[in-house]
Amino acid sequence: MHEYSVVAEIVSALLPRLEEHEGIVTAVYLKKGSLRILSDRALKNAFEVVAQGTRLEGASLEIEAIPVCVACRACGFEGAAEVLEDEAFHFAVPVLSCPACGAEVEVRSGRELSVDRVSIRTADEGD
């Protein structure tokens, strides 16, 4: 699964940065753009497996969905992309053309995949 390789990269990037902080990691907060074809459930399952035996073991992975926002150079529209929903396929597909004039658009948000923050419980916060 693609999600496992993504999570492995996240975990390997986080672990060295956590060395300078004491305490128990309780949660990792991820921002994921709607254009990222990654299953939230698969990401969480992968995180649980990949984090085993590391300082991240037992922490939860919290995922915030970032909607697709587009900008049109032709008419100046800036806002949410239209979405085609097809219940037969069980997912929604964003339409990457201007909802106002149909021209090509620039994607302003929706491609993100980043760690927003990490929650750490320190000894002085109690158990």
Distance of CA 58 to the CA centre of its chain: 19
pLDDT of residue 88: 59
CB 65 within 8 A of CB 32: yes
pLDDT band per the 50, 70, 90 thresholds, residue 35 = confident
pLDDT of residue 91: 59
Residues 43 and 98 in one domain: no
Q: Which domain holds residue 93?
A: 68-109
pLDDT digits (tens, 9 = 90+) for 90-121: 556 666 889 899 999 999 999 999 999 999 99
Residues 114 and 98 in one domain: no
pLDDT digits (tens, 9 = 90+) for 41-70: 999 999 999 999 999 999 999 999 999 899
Residue 121: name the closest of 21, 25, 5 by CA. 25
Residues 90 and 38 in one domain: no
pLDDT of residue 93: 63
pLDDT of residue 9: 97
CB 97 within 8 A of CB 107: no
Assign 36 to helix, strand or coil.
Answer: coil
pLDDT of residue 25: 96
Residues 30 and 62 in one domain: yes
Residues 105 and 118 in one domain: no
Residues 121 and 87 in one domain: no
pLDDT of residue 126: 55
Residues 73 and 84 in one domain: yes
Q: Is the pTM of this model over 0.85?
A: no
Tell me how crowded residue 79 is: count the other CB atoms within 10 A of its CB. Answer: 15
Count of domains in the chain? Answer: 2
pLDDT band per the 50, 70, 90 thresholds, residue 82 = confident
Residues 21 and 77 in one domain: no
